[in-house]
């Protein structure tokens, strides 16, 4: 077995090559490279898919978070709560706007933010909460939304890893990740579940006023060209990427199913392997398996990664350093978040993509058993 990849974008492309190639060439022929009809069409189709009122495309998932924070009109020093065990983008955009990131702990089983830690972190200066739907699993949104309502604190859902995932409320009602808080953000980085062939991102909201502000901020604070109401930025999804995404959106549910099938096969093969904890699937979350992330009970994750690499099997450690221990946040180094700090030492993500075969999954698991 050769050439196992963490993600296989080329294989995925080859299944839909004719459609993708045509979409790209159509944009080139139209020469409407910026804000062309493809961008509007994709935004409309994504809004329909998510059942959300507004989709505002932008340049990447990090910009999406920054634009969302800017739209809330916060003051320097205001506190924004986000989990430490996560990708850096949320904390970084908080800091770049001179707001104060307040790192909270996570749950060992879901990898998502811990509710008690969230409640304890709230102060009169808390002005936003950014839950992250990590690895494709939706956070338990109902209690988060209740806290948001109780304290009047807006919620920005970072949905970069969970586009298409459903949350089921206790009454059985379902909503898509990213459409429950005040604002949702996502990334179309190539390896995400809905990825383009470059950089891309989007912001979601059901709030008309926020939508208008988000749109302006992404466009130099402008509604009418060359008239600038507020300080914004330049953050656009280009037409070629939108055209590619519009093709891939049709296959998103199929891609999610392929990921879930792969996860199911991993789960079955790993059931008997002691010292490995397979991903927990919370009953309220339809997991879309952006990552298939194990916890290693005894072994060092970096060691196991090295042993797998010797067999040419790529694995990833998401994330080796939690937010509050990053050098960029040296003033937070005395914060202690036991679960986040435990997870960074235990997690190991196995190859996960839409093109994984049963044979390669078996091969990966066999080698993992040896590596343990």
Ligand X SMILES: *Cc1c(COP(=O)(O)O)cnc(C)c1O
Q: Interface residues with ligand X (CB under 6 A)?
A: 60-62, 86-87, 89, 132, 158, 160-161, 187, 189, 199, 201
CB of 199 to ligand X, least distance (A): 6
The residue (of 187 and 344) whose beta carbon lies closer to ligand X is 187
CB neighbourhood size of 222 (10 A): 16
The residue (of 235 and 239) whose beta carbon lies closer to ligand X is 235
Tokens of 137: 């699993």
The residue (of 63 and 78) whose beta carbon lies closer to ligand X is 63
Strands (E), 99-188: 100-104, 126-129, 156-158, 166-168, 174-176, 183-187
Number of residue whose CB is nearest ligand X: 61
Length of the chain: 372
Q: Up-side HSE of residue 8: CA atoms within 13 Å toward CB?
A: 18
Strand partners, 166: 176, 286
The residue (of 163 and 243) whose beta carbon lies closer to ligand X is 163
CB of 241 to ligand X, least distance (A): 11
CB of 271 to ligand X, least distance (A): 28
Please report, for residues 31, 172, 239, 241, 263, the alpha-carbon distance to residue 40 in angstroms, rounded to integers and kept in the order given.
Answer: 15, 32, 9, 12, 34
The residue (of 61 and 351) whose beta carbon lies closer to ligand X is 61
In the DSSP assignment, the letter for residue 158 is E
CB of 371 to ligand X, least distance (A): 26
- Dihedral of CA atoms 46, 50, 56, 58 in degrees, nearest 10, equals -70
CB of 193 to ligand X, least distance (A): 10
Which residues, 6+ apart, have CB-to-CB distance to 203 below 8 Å? Answer: 55, 56, 58, 64, 67, 68, 183, 184, 185, 186, 214, 218
Preceding omega of 319 cis (within 30 degrees of 0): yes
CB of 25 to ligand X, least distance (A): 25
The residue (of 323 and 367) whose beta carbon lies closer to ligand X is 323
């Amino acid at each position: 077995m050769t050439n196992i990849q963490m993600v296989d974008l080329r294989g995925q492309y080859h299944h839909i090559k004719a459609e993708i190639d045509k979409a790209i060439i159509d944009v080139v022929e139209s020469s409407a490279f910026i804000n062309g009809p493809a961008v509007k069409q994709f935004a409309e189709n994504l809004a329909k898919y998510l059942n959300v009122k507004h989709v505002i495309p932008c340049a990447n998932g990090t910009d999406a978070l920054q634009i969302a924070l800017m739209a809330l009109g916060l003051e320097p020093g205001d506190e924004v709560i986000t989990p430490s065990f996560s990708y850096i983008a949320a904390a970084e955009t908080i800091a770049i706007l001179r707001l104060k990131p307040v790192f909270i702990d996570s749950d060992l089983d879901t990898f998502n933010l811990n509710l008690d830690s969230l409640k304890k972190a709230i102060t009169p200066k808390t002005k936003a909460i950014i839950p992250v739907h990590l690895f494709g699993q939706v956070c338990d949104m109902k209690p988060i939304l209740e806290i948001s309502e109780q304290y009047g604190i807006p919620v920005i859902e970072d949905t970069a890893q969970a586009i298409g995932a459903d949350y089921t409320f206790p009454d059985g009602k379902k909503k898509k990740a990213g459409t429950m808080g005040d604002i949702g953000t996502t990334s179309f980085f190539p390896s995400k579940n809905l990825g383009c062939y470059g950089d891309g991102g989007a912001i979601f909201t059901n709030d008309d006023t926020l939508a208008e502000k988000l749109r302006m901020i992404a466009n130099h604070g402008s509604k009418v060209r060359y008239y600038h109401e507020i300080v914004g930025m330049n953050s656009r999804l280009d037409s070629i990427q939108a055209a590619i995404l519009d093709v891939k959106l049709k296959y998103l549910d199929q891609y999610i199913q392929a990921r879930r099938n792969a996860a199911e096969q991993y789960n079955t093969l790993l059931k008997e392997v002691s010292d490995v904890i397979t991903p927990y699937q919370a009953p309220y979350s339809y997991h879309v398996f952006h990552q298939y992330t194990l916890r290693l009970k005894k072994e060092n994750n970096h060691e196991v990664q090295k042993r797998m690499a010797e067999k040419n099997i790529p694995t990833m450690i998401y994330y080796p350093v939690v937010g509050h221990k990053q050098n960029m946040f040296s003033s937070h180094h005395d914060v202690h978040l036991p679960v986040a700090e435990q997870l960074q030492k235990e997690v190991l993500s196995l190859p996960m993509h839409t093109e994984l075969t049963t044979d390669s999954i078996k091969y990966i698991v066999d080698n993992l058993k040896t590596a343990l």
